Amino acid sequence: MRTIMVINAKGGCGKSTLATNIAGYFASNWDAVTSLADYDPQASSLDWLARRPPERDKIHGVDAHKHGLTHLDRNTDFLIIDAPARSHGSELTQMVRHAETIIVPVLPSPIDIGAAAKFVTELLDVGKVERREVKVAVVANRVRENLLIYEELEKFLDTLKVPVIATLRDTQNYIRAYSRGLGIHELAEYLSWPDQEQWEPLVEWLESRRSRPT
């Protein structure tokens, strides 16, 4: 089983957006059993799943906030985990235990970038990450222009050897997709091709050995 976790201590940066879109991608592009575990009490990922049309590729929802992973389908090939905000300390250590790949979405504001730098530092300190049993990457989310604002974060992440793997624009397509229980890869291509293009380095990374611990 492949486990991909989307996490950041900060709320509103796109954790649920990324988790649902990754789940949608693997469910529709791979003939694989996909599960989406939601640890967040806000349950945005499970709400998205409830909107998913029954004729679309099935994604198994796991109410991890209530039951942990005890109800996880044993045949799962891809487990996508939507982690709650404010994960720090021992709670963060517990969360990271479930993951082999971690994605940290970051918004283009100085406050979010500063917070993300601290969060990534804390994350790299967790034993499992320190031992390189987890691979970590950052995704710049809701970018309106090719902003210089990330430059400082990129420099910082470079010293930590954490890649910024993709840059996603701010677009209504994510809101449209969410409200229909779909991922960006499941929208009509004439509408979502710029986003599918932006997702390419992310899905390539997820599909390659580079995103898996050695």
Cα–Cα distance measured from residue 34 to residue 126, given in angstroms and rounded to the nearest whole number: 27
Instruction: Please select the residue that binds ligand ADP; options are 66, 132, 175, 200, rule is CB under 6 A.
Output: 175
Interface residue with ligand ADP among 2, 4, 5, 14 (CB under 6 A) is 14
Q: What CA–CA distances, in Å, run from 140 to 68, 107, 187?
A: 28, 6, 21
- Does the protein bind ligand ADP through residue 170 (CB under 6 A)? yes
Q: To which residue do tokens 């509408």 refer?
A: 191
Q: In this structure, are residues 133 and 122 in contact, taking their beta carbons and an 8 Å threshold?
A: no
15 binds Mg ion (CB under 5 A): yes
Q: Are 41 and 164 in contact (CB under 8 A)?
A: no
Residue 141 as a binder of ligand ADP (CB under 6 A): the answer is yes
Instruction: Identify which of residues 11 and 127 has a Cβ nearer to ligand ADP in the complex.
Output: 11
Indicate which single residue of 1, 12, 147, 151 sits in contact with ligand ADP (rule: CB under 6 A): 12
Nearest to 5, CA basis, from 151, 137, 148: 137
Residue 12 binding: pick among Mg ion, ligand ADP, none (C-beta 5-8 Å cut-off by kind) = ligand ADP
Binding of ligand ADP at residue 174 (CB under 6 A)?
yes
